[in-house]
C-alpha cells in the first residue's frame, strides 16, 4: 500500500511540474513576443544577409548579457558583404561608435566625398551573440528598428529626422 501511494504521489508531482512549465516563457494572452532585434522593413532594404552574423566578442560569456561596448573591427566585420554596408558606401573605417542596450550606431569614417557620409545602425542578435547591420542612411536611421525613445536618444541625432 505504501509503494502504491508513493508511485501515485510521484506521478502527480511529475504531472504538476509539467503543467506549470508548459506556459513558462510564453507571452501573456494577447501579448506579442518581444524580438531580440526589431523586425526588418519591407522592400529592397530587407534583403537577406549574405554572410553569417559576427559575434562580439567571440566566445565571451559577457556578450550574452551586455554586448556594449563594441569595437570598430567587430562592426566592420558585420557590415562586410551585407546590403546595409553596400548602401552606405562599403566603409573601411567607422567613427563615433555609440552602443546602448543591444544597439550600436556608427558613422562612415572615410574621407569626405560627394554627399553625406552614412550612419550605420546595428542590432545585437541573441542567442547567436552576433551583431547584424539593420540600416544605413544619413538621418532617421532608427525608424522602424528602434522603438524605445531613450535608446534612440543614447544613439544620437542620426536616429531622428535630419
Record the cell numbers describing residue 142, joined without a space: 532608427
pLDDT (tens digit, 9 = 90+) per residue, 20-52? 333 434 334 443 333 445 444 433 343 434 444
pLDDT per residue as tens digits for the range 133-142: 999 999 999 9
Contact 99, 68 (CB under 8 A): yes
Whole-structure pTM over 0.75, yes or no? no
C-alpha span between 87 and 68 (Å, rounded)? 25
**Residue 64 CA: distances (Å) to CA of 7, 17, 107, 125:** 42, 28, 25, 9
Amino acid at each position: 500500500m505504501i509503494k502504491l501511494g508513493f508511485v501515485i504521489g510521484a506521478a502527480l508531482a511529475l504531472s504538476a511540474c509539467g503543467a506549470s512549465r508548459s506556459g513558462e516563457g510564453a507571452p501573456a494572452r494577447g501579448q506579442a513576443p518581444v524580438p531580440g532585434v526589431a523586425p526588418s522593413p519591407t522592400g529592397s532594404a530587407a534583403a537577406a544577409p549574405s554572410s553569417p552574423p559576427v559575434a562580439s566578442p567571440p566566445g565571451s560569456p559577457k556578450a550574452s548579457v551586455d554586448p556594449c561596448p563594441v569595437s570598430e573591427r567587430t562592426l566592420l566585420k558585420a557590415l562586410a558583404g551585407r546590403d546595409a554596408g553596400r548602401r552606405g558606401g562599403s566603409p573601411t573605417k567607422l567613427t563615433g561608435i555609440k552602443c546602448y542596450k543591444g544597439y550600436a550606431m556608427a558613422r562612415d569614417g572615410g574621407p569626405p566625398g560627394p554627399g553625406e557620409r552614412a550612419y550605420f545602425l546595428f542590432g545585437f542578435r541573441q542567442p547567436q551573440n552576433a551583431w547584424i547591420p539593420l540600416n544605413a542612411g544619413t538621418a532617421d536611421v532608427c525608424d522602424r528598428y528602434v522603438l524605445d525613445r531613450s535608446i534612440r536618444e543614447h544613439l544620437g541625432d542620426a536616429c531622428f529626422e535630419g
